[in-house]
Amino acid sequence: MPQDTNTQLRHLVRYFGHGTFSPEIIDRAEGNSVFTEDGRELLDFTSGQMSAILGHAHPEIVATVRDQVSRLDHLYSGMLSRPVLDLAGRLAETLPASLSKTMLLTTGAEVNEAAVRMAKLVTGRYEIVSFARSWHGMTQAAANATYSAGRSGYGPPAPGNFALPVPDRFRPDLVDANGNLDWRRQLDLGFDLIDAQSAGSLAACLVEPILSSGGIIDLPPGYLAALRDKCHERGMLLILDEAQTGLCRTGDWYAFERDGVVPDILTLSKTLGAGLPLAAMVTSEEIEREAHDRGFLFLTTHANDPLPAAVGNTVLDVLARDRLELRARELGERMRNGLHELAGRHPAIGDIRGRGLLIGLELVNEQGAGGGDDTDKLGAAVTRRCAELGLHMNIVQLPGMGGTFRIAPPLTASDAEIDRGVAILDNALTDVTH
């Protein structure tokens, strides 16, 4: 007999801030669903932790893990294995020629930490710029570049971290004559303020092409190129965090492809391991050589481990063979069409945004305004009702942002599963708002 959840919780550290664990115990996962101990099925519209792009228990990943764990699972960090060498080479083949050097780690926070550390060493500077609603991880440098949560109560952050305003087109803070976001003026102002505060030691800018925890904010076309120019004018490196956007989720292999902007350093995680702990920092031969000449040091217990690297190779196999970037576009269009149809019947839906199968849906109150306590409560109520009806959804866990859903089903979802999820959301909105 399973123990009562509250009894089991007495042994767990709570790590969600003021959030809570889900009330049910998950027993297993298969395909695009998770199943509770009492047999309930929940359609997984978060891909686990926004990671399981091939769904759960994908047979080819299961076979890879079984074979590799019996052959070679973990090594001393200075040793190399065939899966690691293969994955580094294959990642380079999917990327622009300048991104050719890879370091394999385990989490997004780790690779962001490594990227910032490398940028500081190579430039000889220490100041880091990121968005005001950013999330890059909870280790030291990654947490210092994270502004969406977790800054209060932990002592002083490292000096030299600056926030850029977020180019949010749904809730713009600077507008043009037509009332639309004036992102060029906003970006100019942001860097004017950074320049005024800088001690002359700007090293890098670390951003997501689509802010996820910040509310699925897709950077306006042209923004990323302008940001790159701002960085290079100041001798800064551009680091793109594609933990959630990389590897086909947005309809391209990498989100930066839409803008034709190649970063100086790229970080991948979540989607690379399709749910297993695998991450990569990728940079140019020039930057890697300079870092090496200066004695770049970043050792972790599981750097370049063969087991997750083997899984990464299988993930690349499936993505390429099944053309899942095209499937993400098709499913994303199908879902957005369904959500727009819901918006015509539910005034609580204020905005639908995103690319491919990374979609944001923002709720508004009766006055049509978002981002307040009332929409936080509405989002929490809709989330609970979706779970009761068999759909797991993820709401942004930030004060004033709790009315924004991050919708990211596996790329292996079927048309019927997409339609079923939209129908459940429809029912949940009806139940909560009527």
Residue 82 identity: R
What values do phi and psi take at 381, rounded to 5?
-65, -40
Determine whether 249 is an active site residue: no
Q: Which of 68, 113, 127, 135 is catalytic?
A: 135
CB contact at 8 A, 127 and 206: no
* DSSP, residue by residue, 333-392: HHHHHHHHHHHTT-TTEEEEEEETTEEEEEE--TTS--SSHHHHHHHHHHHHHHHHHTEE
CB contact at 8 A, 262 and 39: no
Measuring CA to CA, how many Å separate 312 from each of 63, 175, 305, 306? 13, 43, 11, 10
Q: Which of 241, 242, 264, 351 is catalytic?
A: 241
- Contacts of residue 351, defined as CB under 8 A and 6 or more positions apart, other chains included, come to 170, 360, 361, 362, 364, 370
Determine whether 183 is an active site residue: no
Determine whether 208 is an active site residue: yes
DSSP state of 388: H
Q: Which of 110, 182, 208, 362 is catalytic?
A: 208
Q: Which of 183, 376, 406, 417 is catalytic?
A: 406
Determine whether 27 is an active site residue: no
Determine whether 253 is an active site residue: no
Percentages helix, strand, coil for the chain (3-state, rounded to 5) are: 40, 20, 45
Sheet of 394-395: strands edge to edge?
349-355, 358-363, 404-407, 394-395
Q: For the chain, give the number of residues.
A: 434
- CA–CA gap between residue 426 and residue 224 (Å, rounded): 35
- CA–CA gap between residue 231 and residue 211 (Å, rounded): 19
DSSP state of 5: H
Q: Which of 68, 244, 355, 385 is catalytic?
A: 244
β-bridge partners, 35: 28, 41
Positive/negative CA dihedral, 424, 427, 431, 434: positive
Exposure string for 341-351, b = 16+ CB within 10 A, e = fewer = ebbeebebbbb
CB contact at 8 A, 268 and 111: yes
Around Cβ 366, how many Cβ atoms within 10 Å?
10
Q: Which of 120, 125, 249, 270 is catalytic?
A: 270
β-bridge partners, 16: none
Determine whether 377 is an active site residue: no
Q: Locate 272 and state its tokens.
A: 């690379």
Residues classed as catalytic: 135, 208, 241, 244, 270, 406
